[in-house]
Structure formats: C-alpha cells, structure tokens
C-alpha cells in the first residue's frame, strides 16, 4: 500500500480548520502549487481529505532501488511490494480494489490479473462525440486477449463521483467505451467493503474473464480475511 502511494498521484491528509481556511483562500487565488499538489473538492464544493499530486517516485525508480538495496534489512519485502504494484493509482480506493482483485489467492486476493492502472484509451469518433473527450483513463483495466474483450473497472468514490454532473460524464464515457467493444463495470466502495457483494463481483469478473473458480482452501480464506482487514483500513489513520 505504501509502494502504491509512493508511485501514485494521491495523498490523504485532513488539514486543521485554521489551515483549511488558508487553503480555501489560496484556492480562490488559483495559485499553482509545486509538485502538482491540489486538494480534491466534492460535488458540493466541500474540501475532502484526498489530494492529487505528482508521483513521489516512479515505479521504474522504485524497482531500481530494489536492485541497489541487496543485503539491506527489508530488501525482500520491498521487492515483493514493488512487484505487486500494477501501475499509477489516483486514490486509495483504486489501490484497495487493485490489491483485492489482483493479488494471488494465496496472499488473500482473487488472482484475477494481469491488470494495469489508469491506462489511456484513445477513443474513436463515435466515442469521442459521446464522451466529449479524445482520451480517457481506465481506473483498472483487464487488457483484451483471445478469451475476453478489454474490461474497464471504474471505481465510484463518493467524494468525486456523486452528483449529477460527474454522473453524467461517467455515463457518457461508459457508453462511448461500450461502443468500442470495451466492457465497463462500475464498482463502489460499498461493493469492496461488503464481503458478500465483493465475492459476487469477483464471480462476475471471473465469468467475464473466462477463469474457472475453485473453492478456496481454509488457508486462502484466512489470508483473505487478513488482507481485507489490512487493505480496507482507514488510509489516513494508517498514515498517522
């Protein structure tokens, strides 16, 4: 999770009331912050604890450091974490979904990968007209192969997707992608956090991907419970 955040374009931090007043004042002046830092506001215009920023390190740099850290304490754990990162994520929800869906069943995940994060998709003419843009980015993409078409998983976080305007943009983009033969599945935080709904989501994805599902062993079920307990924790409290 730390490796994903290092390589991602997000941070989670709640300012004090005094600091938030200053941040709101600076926002009204439309000042650009170094490193691309900007606070995310919800559909009602209220500040959230989610921030966007440039990645602190690239995945290439992180994996390069793994090679340089041979013999150091924590080297193997760092390498394992770096290998598990599937791309550049823009929110904790994208990280949580990526880990739960992609990690092997032995490690508590669903083993449905390979996946890539925030993958650019160039839209064709019909899709551009519908979406009002020439390129969109898939939160989680299962690339097309001989068995299934490309599958785009779009995470619906409350703070940035609620409200009519955002919903309209997502609906138009979804229709444009479907016109290109790309399967689009909207996934909410509640579907990730509710074990029953998550298992049904996993079964549906397995069917679309052409993967046969076998019953998990007792050890795999224990690993899943442990992974969910860690990954679905409050991100801000973990940072503290």
**Domain annotation covers residue 110:** yes
The residue range of the domain holding 177 is: 87-239
Report pLDDT digits (tens) over 34-51. 888 999 998 888 999 999
pLDDT of residue 161: 45
Give every CB contact of residue 90 below 8 A, 6+ residues apart in sequence. 8, 9, 10, 52, 118, 139
Crossing angle of the two packed helices 75-84 and 59-68, in degrees rounded to 10: 160
**Phi, then psi, of 213 in degrees rounded to 5:** -95, 125
Report pLDDT digits (tens) over 47-65. 999 999 999 999 999 999 9
**Domain annotation covers residue 195:** yes
**Domain annotation covers residue 112:** yes
pLDDT of residue 43: 82
Output DSSP code: residue 193.
Answer: H
If one compares 172 and 203, the residue with the highest pLDDT of the two is 203
**Domain annotation covers residue 206:** yes
Segment 188-194 shows an average pLDDT of 95
3-state DSSP of 52-107: ECCCCCCHHHHHHHHHHCCCCCCHHHHHHHHHHCCECCCCHHHHHHHHHHHCCHHH
CA–CA dist 56, 65 (Å, integer): 14
CA–CA dist 94, 12 (Å, integer): 13
**Domain annotation covers residue 141:** yes
**Domain annotation covers residue 130:** yes
**Domain annotation covers residue 111:** yes
**Domain annotation covers residue 120:** yes
Tally of structural domains, the chain: 1
Report pLDDT digits (tens) over 64-90. 999 999 999 999 999 999 999 999 999
CATH of the domain at 136: 3.40.1350
If one compares 163 and 51, the residue with the highest pLDDT of the two is 51
């Amino acid at each position: 999770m730390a490796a994903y955040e290092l390589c991602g374009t997000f941070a989670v931090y709640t300012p004090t009331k005094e600091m938030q007043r200053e941040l709101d004042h600076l926002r009204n002046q439309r000042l650009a912050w170094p490193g691309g830092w900007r606070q995310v506001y919800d559909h009602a215009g209220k500040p959230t604890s989610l921030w966007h920023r440039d990645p602190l390190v690239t995945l290439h740099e992180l994996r390069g450091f793994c090679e340089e850290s041979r013999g150091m304490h924590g080297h193997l754990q760092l390498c394992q974490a770096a290998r598990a990162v599937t791309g550049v994520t823009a929110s904790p929800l994208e990280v949580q979904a990526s880990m739960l869906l992609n990690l092997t069943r032995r490690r508590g995940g669903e083993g449905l990968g390979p996946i890539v994060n925030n993958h650019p998709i160039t839209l064709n003419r019909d899709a551009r007209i519908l979406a009002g843009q020439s390129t969109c980015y898939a939160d989680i993409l299962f690339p097309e192969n001989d068995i299934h078409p490309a599958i785009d998983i779009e995470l619906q976080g409350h703070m940035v997707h609620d409200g009519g305007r955002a919903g309209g943009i997502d609906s138009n983009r979804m229709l444009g992608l479907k016109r290109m033969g790309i399967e689009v599945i909207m996934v909410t935080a509640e579907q990730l956090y509710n074990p029953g709904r998550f298992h049904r989501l996993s079964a549906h994805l397995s069917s679309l991907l052409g993967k046969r599902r076998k019953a998990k062993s007792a050890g795999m079920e224990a690993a899943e419970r442990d992974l969910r307990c860690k990954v679905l924790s409050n991100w801000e409290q973990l940072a503290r």
